Amino acid sequence: MTTPGAQAGGGEAIEIATLALSLGGAVAVLLFFVIVVFLLSRLLFICGPNEILVFSGRRHRLADGSVVGFKVIHGGRALRIPLLESVSRMDVRLYDVTVAVQNAFSKGGIPLAVHAIANVKVSTDPRHVRQAVERFLGAEPAVIQRVAQQTLEGVLREVLSQLTPEEVNEDRLKFAESLVRNAKDDFDKLGLELDVLKVQHVSDEQKYLSNLGRAQIAAMIRDAQNAENLADQRVAEETAKSRQRAESALQQAESMVLQRRNGFRAEIAKLEAEAKSIENEATVAAETARATAEQELQRLRSELEKIRLQNETVLPAEAEAQARALRARGDAAPTIENGRATAEALAAVAGEWAAAGEMGREVYVLSQLDAIVLAAVQRASQIEIGTIEVVDGGDGESLAAVMGAFTRGVAQVLAETGQAIGVDVPALLGPGDAASGLREARPALRSPASGGDR
């Protein structure tokens, strides 16, 4: 019978064995993985974009049916069979190749010197890569550059023999395209590819191209001179035309200025004539106005003199006459009684006149006419006049008016007497100067607006 301790020891031994087995399996798996990675790193080849891989050792049939002993890989990856295959790498990056030829005869026998530069690489075209592998596998880049250079030099001489110097010099792009086209077959056979070809310089020792350029330059200079002469001729013609137009315009402008000047002078003369006429009219008007003013002034002076004469002579005389009349009335006051008697007598006479009618008064007045006229003359003679200044307008009316003043004074006194006794003295006297004076004085005596006693 097993004891519990023995059972426990046996369980621990089983666990240890299991753990050891697990560790052994993990180590084995890890070791297998390491071996697989190591084998893959040795057998798996990855191709970069700038290279090709060549697997050699086994026979391969190509698309055209031919059989070769290698396989080319460009891009991607591939496994190498150990012991049966070997792997080589070829660089497909660009190589710059300088091409220079001397004394290369062109068409026409003119030797030329051409300098060009090209970019060459190993072809990755499946149709031509086999030629590159067969010729340049394991070769240095300098070998590829030298082969490409020699090939291009030969092609360059071949192309130059087909072109004239003018074509080579004038159309270098066409020249480069001809080089690329002629070199393609040779480069395909070599498994190379020509990416770029540029012609940098073309020259010749006989100075043919220089002379050709000189002739072209001379032609260009001649054309430029001809164009310049033609331009100068056109400029001269245009200048002459412009000068002629300017002279014509100047003449027209001078003619217009002269016409305007003549018109201006005529207008000035017209305005001066109008101004002279207006000035003459103004002078005549001024003289007329002056004469009119002088006449008006003389009239005003005459009226002023009349007023002054009225104020200084006539009015004082009238005032003196009224004063004398008042004094005479005062002196006659003592004889009032005599007057009453006379009045009674007169009343009696008036009664008789009333009985006799209008004819009685007139007969009485006519019988007393000498005394009435004498009294009127004496009253007018009482007026004293010191100095009379007569302002006459040249027609003598003012002087005649002054000389007739005495007669009108007598007529005035007779008119006042007739007004007092109620007898029309001018009607009794009949036509005449005295009667006319009495008739002129009568309306003034009869008018209520005459202003009081005379």
What are the residues whose beta carbons fall under 8 Å from the beta carbon of 100, sequence distance 6 or more?
113, 114, 115, 116, 153
Instruction: Please state which of the ranges 245-259, 328-342, 402-416 shows the lowest mean pLDDT.
Output: 328-342
Rounded-to-integer distance, Cα 246 and Cα 76, Å: 87
Residue range 11-28: average pLDDT?
A: 80
More confident residue, 108 or 35: 35
Decide if pLDDT at 341 tops 70.
Answer: no
- As a whole-number percent, the residues of the chain with pLDDT over 70 amount to 67
pLDDT digits (tens, 9 = 90+) for 88-98: 888 888 888 98
Alpha-helical (H) ranges within 310-335 are 315-331
Residue of higher predicted confidence among 207 and 26: 26
Which of 77, 416, 417, 436 is closest to 426 using CA atoms?
A: 436
Q: In whole angstroms, how large is the CA radius of gyration of the chain?
A: 84
State pLDDT tens for residues 202-257. 877 766 666 666 666 777 788 888 888 888 888 888 888 888 888 888 888 888 88
Confidence of residue 125 (pLDDT cuts 50, 70, 90): confident
- Taking the C-alpha atoms of residue 61 and residue 67, their distance in angstroms, rounded to an integer, is 4
Whether the pLDDT of residue 192 is over 70: the answer is: yes
Average pLDDT, the chain: 75
Most confidently modeled of 112-126, 217-231, 278-292?
Answer: 112-126
pLDDT exceeds cutoff 60 at 435? no
State pTM to two decimals. 0.40
Across the range 404-433, mean pLDDT stands at 65
- pLDDT, tens digit (0-9, with 9 covering 90-100), for 343-361: 676 666 666 656 655 666 6
Over 50: is that where the pLDDT of 107 sits? yes
